[in-house]
Amino acid sequence: KNDGDLIKKGDKLAVLEGPAKYILLGERVALNYIQRMSGIATETRKYKEAIGNYKAKIVDTRKTTPLFRAFEKYSVKIGGGSLHRFNLSDCAMIKDNHIKYAGSLTKAVEKLREHISHAHKIEVECDTIEQVKEAIENNIEIIPVPGACALINALICSSSFVSVPFE
Residues that are catalytic: 63
- Taking CB atoms within 8 Å and a gap of at least 24, the contacts of 106-112 are 106/134, 106/137, 106/138, 109/138, 109/140
State whether the Cα torsion 103-140-77-89 is positive or negative.
Answer: negative
Query: Across the strands, what pairs with 59?
Result: 82
Amino acid at 94: I
Burial group, residue 150, by CB count within 10 angstroms (0-12, 13-18, 19+): exposed
